[in-house]
Chains A and B, each alone.
Chain A
């Protein structure tokens, strides 16, 4: 028995939804970054499943690029987090409200 590709897509959708929920509910800026990584992972799973279904390699190449972008984003984002922790003494996103009108 083979696992249908739609199962992978459902799992990918569920993981993406949980990532969105974490992004909205969490208040710690590091955890918010982690939920972005979770969403990127969910999208990667959909890419690999579609690449498999259509027997095309392009999906895997896209996953490769997504991983590269995620690594770059994590480096810059965590540098910003460190700056924020030094300047604000807090990791709570509600404390960073100077640009909020």
Chain B
């Protein structure tokens, strides 16, 4: 019962944060509501038994990435966003189709056979994934991919440095 209450509280917080991200006109307000979404998702990961993912969600996402965003917003002094009108095509064709897509995806997720099998089959797990087994998987089966991500990070650092250089 407690799990259900926690789930719905966090889901409500996450959806509220996502809607606030869309509605607020100041980028800094959008960034703060995105942090709200990330923290509530971290609580949901805890509820799903993934403690390690929950911890890196807080440390990497809500910590590092969002601090970078807030830093750039403050650095560029980003103010109120200008609104521009959409084209007629976007307003009358794109908008209804977008809502239709959203509705269909939600309906499929809720009614699909895959979803029901999962619900009745394995929704009753209570013990989580331990960090020990996760790291064993990461450093044995996925070792090459793990090393490849370090190259990716290195290239990203170099790219950011080249872009941010004063006179290229």
Residue in A44, A45, A51, A68 whose CB lies within 8 Å of B149: A68
- Cα distance A52–B84 when bound, in Å? 43
B164 contacts across to A, CB distance below 8 A: 79, 82-83
Count residues on chain A whose CB falls below 8 Å from chain B CBs. 72
Q: Which secondary structure characterizes the binding site on chain A?
A: helix
With contacts A5-B115, A25-B22 taken as known, whether A76 is within 8 angstroms of B48 at the C-beta atoms is no
- Cα distance A72–B154 when bound, in Å? 9
- Cα distance A78–B66 when bound, in Å? 11
With contacts A6-B116, A34-B30, A85-B76 taken as known, whether A24 is within 8 angstroms of B98 at the C-beta atoms is yes
Residue in B64, B115, B124, B133 whose CB lies within 8 Å of A6: B115
With contacts A18-B18, A76-B163, A82-B164 taken as known, whether A61 is within 8 angstroms of B124 at the C-beta atoms is no
Residue in B11, B65, B102 whose CB lies within 8 Å of A71: B65
Interface residues of B, Cβ cutoff 8 Å to A = 1, 3-4, 7, 11, 14-15, 18-19, 21-22, 27, 30-31, 34, 37-38, 41, 44-45, 47-50, 52-53, 56-57, 60-61, 64-65, 68-69, 72-73, 75-76, 78, 81-84, 94, 98, 101-102, 105-106, 109-110, 115-116, 118-119, 121-125, 129, 133-134, 137-138, 141-142, 145, 149, 152-153, 155-157, 159-160, 163-164
